[in-house]
Amino acid sequence: MKYTLAKLAEHVAGEVKGDASCEIESVATLKHANATQISFLTNPSYRKQLATSKAGAVIMSASDAEDSPVNAIISNNPYAAYAKIAALLSPAEQYEAGIDPSAHVAKDTSISDTASIAAGAVIESGVTLADGVRVGPGCVIQKNVKIGADTILTANVTVVHDCEIGERNIFHPGVVIGADGFGQAMDDGQWIKVPQLGRVIIGNDVEIGANTTIDRGAIEDTIIEDNVKLDNQIQIAHNVKIGAHTAIASSSAIAGSTTIGKHCKIAGMVGIVGHLQIADNVTVTGKSMVSSSIKKAGVYSSGTPLDNNAQWRKNTVRFKHLDDIAKRLNKLEKQLAGNNNSGKE
């Protein structure tokens, strides 16, 4: 399907600079786009590609559009505008409602006539699937799970018993919702399992990346609020609460009973220990270790930056002596203060 630049600009509340009648069919990068494609510019390091781009149009800010050699859609948020236009030009695949003959569906379920259940799926007793829910191949939905309208389980997703899922969510392949949390008690030198009796409650417009796991609560529920975005291979432990509009990047792990506020950004490979409180609007940079609560909004980091190996080894040795150095420095400061005071007498 083709759209004129005028229609695309209207779709994203943008402004056209250039030929508003130019027709666009698809999206592409600045470097490889042709005259029927649209691209975007947000990173200054790619600005040099704009001069030679063959794109039919580029989505960009007003300042970048001043000397643009190609048609432009001017937006205050070019990347968000690109996302909306890309979705319009590449609509999601449509699936027919109905249940594949190879799926196993318990008799006492409540499944909308507009839901789609693919080959090899298993739907257990007491499950409720609302309008437009899509259950992909190999998915398992255990007893008494409730899934809201237009939620998509792509493939091989498991939702364990009694969990509740809201509307318009997307779960990518291998996601596991509601597996037991890591609850173990020591008894006479042996670990014994602590029953995990809570659920996972997920709000609306949540997206969860491939092979991410969210454990059920030990007693109370694990809660993921509206519009949370989780990348691939993330571990969310039991009784964690993640506030609305928070995004977490790949390979991060959050230990049990930690609460993360709204509008937070957690970068990749971040570790967050249990029983912490993290305020709204907190950003944690990549590979950081969060070992205490964060009470104020802001950007937080830990870890050591990459260095050549020889210098890194030296600094690692020096790090082990920091406590001794601090004590010696404190002692010297006291001596200097004493000398200064004696000189005034």
Query: pLDDT, tens digit, for every residue of 158-213?
Result: 999 999 999 999 999 999 999 999 999 999 999 999 999 999 999 999 999 999 99
Reported as a single tens digit per residue, the pLDDT across 231-252 is 999 999 999 999 999 999 999 9
CA separation for the pair 149, 165 (Å, rounded): 9
What is the model's pLDDT at position 338? 81
Backbone dihedral region for residue 144 (phi beyond 0: left; psi -120 to 50: alpha; all else: beta) = left
238 is catalytic: yes
Reported as a single tens digit per residue, the pLDDT across 305-345 is 889 999 999 998 998 899 999 999 999 999 998 877 766 65
Reported as a single tens digit per residue, the pLDDT across 91-126 is 888 889 999 999 999 999 999 999 999 999 999 999
Residue 332 phi/psi, 5° resolution?
A: -65, -40
* Catalytic option among 11, 238, 263, 321: 238
What is the model's pLDDT at position 90? 93
One-letter amino acid for residue 6 of the chain: A
Query: What is the average pLDDT value for the chain, to the nearest integer?
Result: 96
